[in-house]
Amino acid sequence: MNTNVFKQYWGRISAAFFVLLSLLTLLHYNTTLTFQDYASSRLTDATLNRIALDIPELKLADQRFNQAVNTSKVARYIDQLNDYLARNSHPIRVIAIQDTHVKANDIAKSQITKNLLFPRQTISIRFAILPMEQNYHLYTLPLILSIILTYLAVPFLVSKPTETVDIIAEQEDEPCRLVVDLTTRTLYLNKQTELSVPLANKPFCFYVAMLDFCADEKEAALYHNKSLPEEFLALTSKYFTRLMDLGHTKRKRPDFNANIDKMLSEIRNALDEIFQTESEAKHKFYPKKAQGEGSRSKLNNFALSGLSCDDFELIGK
């Protein structure tokens, strides 16, 4: 990889390296401590079993009868046992059996007491736990792993934030388009797909036909007081048949020349909800309202003007 990349992003790379090194070193240290505690526990139990087998030879005093114990014999036994543990580099020492104590020459990090239960008495054994020797060469493993993992992570560490900004800016610059999904019979914008508005079968087919018709016919004319063009009605039939194929309806084709005002009202309500935050882009898709009262409204051309095929997308066509 280019050395200029490392120079430019050395801060990120070094920070990632030290974070990885710290985590791996801590993991290695805790694992080592856990293993040492487990090993000490196993050695303590094994030594305790050995002492349990040798107890009859030591002839410890029975406290119930105030018998005297042969302290020197018990002390010699402890010394011999500790010599064996030392020769084998075991990190434990016996420092007391019942009331017989010996001085531990090694520095103990902790002491524990175990009890041997016999039918007539309980004998306590005290152990000194010694620090284990550390193999510091193993600490090179976290260092090597940190170097490898940091090198593998370099492509992610040097990714430029501007790339993400450019992607977001590109999405924001994308023109607002109306998406018409026949599979769900809904309308929504490409910029806010989470807001989708459903329409009933008849106004939905009517509006899809308007989009298709007006995108091809730049001088499209649709009036209340005139029969709708045959090309337009063919499109309404086409999309209604498609809805039947998709399982949205099983009814016969409705009369799209009837109740036009009601259909347009439902369409406008849906568009008002969809274009709440994109009001400037709404005019291309919004059927024009009549200007005036009574018969004058019949002269209103509610066709969509200035619309092109790139302004909307049909899904499931």
14 CB-near residues (< 8 Å, 6+ apart): none
pLDDT of residue 34: 85
Cα–Cα distance, 187 to 270 (Å, whole number): 8
Check if the beta carbon of residue 303 is closer than 8 Å to that of residue 223.
Answer: no
172 CB-side CA count, 13 A? 6
Rounded Cα gap, residues 44 and 228, in angstroms: 98
Confidence bin at 296 (pLDDT 50/70/90): very low
Sequence-distant (6+) residues with CB within 8 A of 224 are 260, 261, 290, 297, 298, 300, 302
Task: Convert the pLDDT of each residue in 177-216 to its tens digit.
Answer: 899 999 999 999 988 888 889 999 999 999 999 999 998 8
- Is the separation of the CB atoms in 287 and 152 below 8 Å? no
CB-count burial class (<10 Å; 0-12, 13-18, 19+) for 102: buried
Q: How many CB atoms lie within 10 A of CB 301?
A: 15
For the segment 74-106, what is each residue's pLDDT rounded down to a tens digit? 888 989 999 999 898 888 899 998 888 887 666
Per-residue pLDDT of 42-81, as tens digits, reads 999 999 999 888 888 877 755 555 555 678 888 889 899 9
Per-residue pLDDT tens over the stretch 151-163: 888 777 776 544 4
